Structure 1
Amino acid sequence: MIEQAIEKASDTKALKIGPDAIAYTGTMFNELFPGKRAIIVADMNTWAAAGERVCAALSEQGISSEPPFILEDSDLYAEWSYLEKVQARLENTDAIAVAVGSGVINDLVKLASHRIGRRYIIVGTAASMDGYTAFGASITKDGNKDTFECKAPSGVIIEPEICAAAPKEMAASGYADLIAKVPAGADWMLAEAVGADRIDDFAFSLVQDPLRDSISDPQGIYNGETAPIGKLAEGLIMSGFAMQAAQSSRPASGLEHQFSHYWDMEGLCFNGKHVSHGFKVGIGTLLSTACYEFLLPLDLEGIDIEACTGRWPDKEAMKKEIETVFAGKPGHLARGMKEGLGKYISSDRLASELSTIKEQWPELREQLRKQIMSFDEVFENLKMAGAPYTPEMIGLSNKDLKTTFRALPYMRNRYTIIDLIYRCGLMEKAEEALFGKDGRWSVTDE
């Protein structure tokens, strides 16, 4: 399937994953960029992990290299000021960047290279996220985390032994990002059912076919075992290829990522450090899974469509809802106006959607049940992998989760389970199920 993924990929034309893969860096570079010079971009940790070996691999193939550009900030993250530093360095040379690192380095080099009309390759140092082979870069600018359009790397090199030696939290973050594809897949199934977003069968299979195997050994991942971390890395890479194939993050991102986006915009930090993408998504996955556990037992065949359309807000009323939800948060408000109103539908369209759900619910519910893992299984797997499994572990309270939940119908112009809950008029019931007296994240101080 990897061969098929590369064949259909729009951007990435070379992948080497396996033992001693770093030794292949020079060969790949010459195949992709014959006659070009190289410049390694890394941070202090990733340079220590693999930088000198990458240098040696380039040198062995006769590739001329600039001195490496090493970002030295101990709390480096994908923020615009760091992007400008990387871009400024690349603008001062005609060399092709060889990124050595994981999520942050990859996104910075990806966008910086794109902005000056160049491509790059990445030597991954951790199985920490699915962005190695994904188009687009997630960068925080003016306090707003957004995905900027840019091409995926031309080539990717992953050595599982290097990934296994990375700090445990890196693989734990990758595990959380990958298990998120379970509810994300269910969200795409829902979106197709209502006619909001057709499933791309090839992209869907790239993510979902290897997924259960890739997340099957959370304990091995926590223990730093090479084989399960190699499987994890492959699963993450396939997710990136799926995004290339679909030209969208839809194959790998559902409601769980919208929780993360909200917290990105809050600048979420814990113990003085930015919380990793995977850790935020992992908590979002628990919440998304809880939404499915709330919804799937319900008899949506009996939904009162007339009542739902009767209370459906017009566009002006929805604007007021968005203003209320995001009061005092101008960045969130701007996003809500763009994204939330962007998926506004008429009451006639709502009636049509809900009629479809009524007709398809028995079959659709069974498909979703087969796709979704239980909340308890997701919880235990995150715990075994060393990823956060309670909001407090990333610096959030139950009340914070509830506040985020209320905002999610307006956070992204992408149909997910939150839209079905909202459009069925079930937000209050869902909120009670998740955050009420007997909910998984009980909020009692309101």
Structure 2
Amino acid sequence: MTTASLAELSLASSQGAMRVLSGEGAVRGIGALVDELAPTGEIVLLTDSAAKVVDTVDLLELVRALLPEGRSSRTVEALESDHGVTLDEATVARASADAAGAAVVIAVGSGTVSDLGKVVAAAVAAPLISVQTAASVNGFADPLSVLVQNGAKRTVPSMWPAALVIDSDVVAEAPVELTRAGVGDAVAIWSAPADWYLACAIGMDPGEYDDRFVDPVREIAPRLADASATEAERLAALVEVLTVGGLVIGDAGTTAPLSGVEHLVSHVLDMSAMAAHARHDLHGAQVGVASILAASLWDVALHEEHLLDLGPDDLSAPTGLRERVLETWSPVDPSGALGEECWRAVEKKMDRWASVGDRVEAFFAGREGHLATLEQLAGDPAHPAAALRLWGAPLTFSELTPAVSAERARWALGALPFMRDRLSLADVFVLAGRWDDRLFDRVFARAAEVGGGL
């Protein structure tokens, strides 16, 4: 995709709210952007403590030097904890207060800083320019932010950046761990759309499945595993697949097309680490490892468990579900507050399940057509594994930094249906009474066959 076509797609997907400036030297257009979006008033630079360098020059200092002459500016640095910037209530409130009075906000950083920038700019009613410093997530190019609310990861509406600046020189010099994390986020395309299709087909998603929010990413993703391409060509493909992914998410108004079981595993790992005041790996690194696991879960569901052979009478909310949710989260937060937060989401999901009986009946009546679609969308666990291997990204939980133990990985898989209100394949296993250690053993074994798993 050319720079021009990416710019056109960004305007179309955002209904004119966001433009993308990409390519070599794109960051040098910052001054003109500021003059256009906010000709007067104070400029706030939002960032974190991570080093950001382009051609041996500090990127933040370069951005500051490129601002219009004579304009007042100040820097707001996000609060950090033991595991970096966490977008909890305190961090968001502090950054928003510190940015008060801004005429324009310029976020300079990777995915978390970008998400914070959207929330802060919305809070102070200023346009946002987001300077992408790594090809690490697809969230730069959407109007949503992942926040921590009551200890749980939640994706909430925020705002489109007025401009997203993707300088190829800046992205190329990002730490390799961030680039590999971007590959991990991208390979979710080989499992996540199946979760979204399933939720839509049985009436558990408020929208309807639409190929236009999936196919553009599926068309680009194979280039990530092209061993014959140069590193520069693969990096360009990575930037493209992540940017297009963010745009389709924004257009759809939900992360669901590209976020299923694999993202839930990452969120669960984050939540448990935060509660323990411990470190966890990058979101995308965890998503990549979990994408192999998610594709394996779908493989087992369709070809061994034959889950679609069930009927509506075989699916029901289990008794004692609230207790099961609270017990799942009790080791993470003995106070019970996190368990109650997660139960509120799960209860909402079960209430919705109780109201979609007719859609469930129709789904199983047309199971053959649904099976054919799910077979296509779920993919083969070997596909994400091949892309991750080519980039040197982690494939197993033990390869994450810090390593995730086998016990914790199994707990994370078991906990994922007990965290949010959006349905995934895992919830169907819960409703069928099959979400148990026997299933987990088979799923991890299938992942191991392609080099993933524990």
- Equivalent residue for 1:367, pick from 362, 366, 373: 373
1:181-220 equivalent positions in 2, closer than 5 A: 181-197=189-205, 198-199=207-208, 201=210, 204-218=211-225
Q: Mapping of 1:145-164 within 5 angstroms?
A: 145-164=153-172
Instruction: Tell me if structure 1 keeps the 8 A contact 2:318–2:431.
Output: no
Aligned partner of residue 343 in structure 1, secondary structure: helix
Q: Within 1, Cα distance between the matches of 2:317 and 2:97? A: 50
Q: CA deviation at 1:166?
A: 0.7
Equivalent of 2:40 in 8, 29, 35: 35
Please identify, of 23-32 and 70-79, the stretch whose mean Cα deviation from structure 2 is larger. 70-79
**2:27 match:** 22
- Note the C-alpha offset of 1:212: 3.8
| Residues 329, 338 of structure 2: 8 Å contact kept | yes
- RMSD after superposition: 3.3
Q: Which moved more, 1:372-381 or 1:154-163?
A: 372-381
Give the alignment of 1:255-294 within 5 angstroms: 255-267=261-273, 273-294=279-300
The change in CA–CA distance for 1:425 and 1:97 in structure 2 (over 3 A counts) is same
* Structure 1 residue 174, shift from structure 2 partner: 0.8
Runs of 5+ in structure 1 lacking a partner?
none
Q: Does 1:422 align with 2:427?
A: no
CA deviation after TM superposition for structure 1 residue 238, in Å: 2.0
Q: Deviations over 1:228-272 (max 9, x none)?
A: 2222122212222223222222222111111112112112699x7
Change (3 A) 1:402 1:430: same
Match of 1:318 among 289, 309, 321: 321
* CA displacement 1:304-363 (0-9 Å, x = unmatched): 544x25x6435xx32233233333432441233111111115897676455334322222
Q: Distance in 2 between matches of 1:336 and 1:16?
A: 39
Q: 1:52 to 1:72 in 2, by over 3 A?
A: farther
- In 1: Cα distance, 2:29 partner to 2:16 partner: 19
Q: Distance in 2 between matches of 1:29 and 1:83?
A: 24
Q: Corresponding residue for 1:169?
A: 177
Distance 1:430 1:166 in 2: 39
Give the whole-Å Cα distance in 2 for the aligned partners of 1:70 and 1:222: 38
Q: Count residues in correspondence.
A: 430
The residue aligned with 1:128 is 136
Query: Contact 2:46 / 2:75 at 8 angstroms: preserved in 1?
Result: yes
* CA displacement at 1:439 relative to structure 2: 5.5
TM superposition shift of 1:290: 1.0
Normalising by structure 2, report the TM-score: 0.83
- Supply the distance in 2 between the matched residues of 1:72 and 1:322 (Cα, whole angstroms): 31
Whether contact under 8 Å (2:131, 2:166) holds in the other structure is yes
* Residues 294-303 or 367-376, more deviating: 294-303
Shift in alpha-carbon separation, 1:409–1:382, aligned structure 2, 3 A: same
The 8 Å contact of residues 217 and 245 in structure 2, kept in 1 or not, is answered as no
- Deviation at residue 220 of structure 1 after TM alignment: 7.2
Task: Sort the Cα spacing of 1:94 and 1:355 in 2 relative to 1 into closer, same or farther, 3 A.
Answer: closer
**Residues 143/400 of structure 1: CA separation in 2 closer, same or farther (3 Å cut):** same
In structure 2, what is the equivalent of residue 228 of structure 1? 234
Q: Unmatched 5+ residue regions in structure 2?
A: 450-454
Task: Give the match for residue 243 of structure 1.
Answer: 249
Alpha-carbon distance in 1 for matches of 2:113, 2:172: 18
Take 2:369 and 2:43, find their aligned partners in 1: how far apart are those partners?
54
Task: Indicate the percent of aligned positions where both proteins have the same amino acid.
Answer: 22
5 Å-filtered alignment, 1:293-372, equals 293-297=299-303, 298-300=305-307, 302-303=309-310, 305-306=312-313, 308-309=314-315, 312-313=317-318, 317-328=320-331, 329=333, 330-345=336-351, 352=358, 354-372=360-378
In the TM superposition, residue 114 of structure 1 has moved relative to its aligned partner by: 2.1
Q: CA, structure 1 residues 301+258, in 2 after alignment: closer, same or farther (shift >3 Å)?
A: closer
Q: What's the counterpart of residue 53 of structure 1?
A: 62
Structure 1 letter corresponding to 2:71? S
CA 1:137–1:424: 2 relative to 1, 3 Å: same
**CA pair 388-96 structure 1, distance change in 2 beyond 3 A:** same
Q: CA-to-partner distance for each residue in 1:77-126, whole Å, 9 max, x for gaps?
A: 234454444334312x4342211111122122222222223231111110
Against the structure 1 CA distance between its residues 214 and 164, is the aligned structure 2 distance closer, same or farther, given a 3 Å change threshold?
farther
Q: 1:172 to 1:63 in 2, by over 3 A?
A: farther
DSSP-derived class of the 1:132 partner: helix
Question: Cα gap change, 1:431/1:75 in structure 2, threshold over 3 Å: closer, same or farther?
Answer: closer
Identify which range, 349-358 or 399-408, moves more after superposition.
Answer: 349-358
Contact kept? 2:44, 2:104, Cα under 8 Å = yes
Task: Find the aligned partners of 2:29 and 2:426 in 1 and give their Cα distance.
Answer: 45
Q: What CA distance in whole angstroms lies between the structure 2 residues aligned with 1:163 and 1:426?
A: 44
User: In the aligned structure 1, how far is the partner of 2:217 from the partner of 2:310?
Assistant: 36
1:168–1:222 CA contact under 8 A, matched in 2: no
Instruction: Confirm or deny: 8 A CA contact 1:37 1:66 kept in the other structure.
Output: yes
Deviates more, 1:141-150 or 1:344-353: 344-353
Question: 2:298 & 2:48 partners in 1: Cα distance?
Answer: 40
Checking the alignment, whether the CA contact within 8 Å between 2:42 and 2:102 is kept in structure 1 is yes
Q: Residues 36, 239 of structure 1: CA spacing in aligned structure 2 closer, same or farther, 3 A cutoff?
A: farther
Q: Separation in 2 of the partners of 1:295 and 1:155?
A: 42
Q: Deviations over 1:357-387 (max 9, x none)?
A: 4322222222222223311232232122222
Task: Give the Å deviation of 1:194.
Answer: 1.2
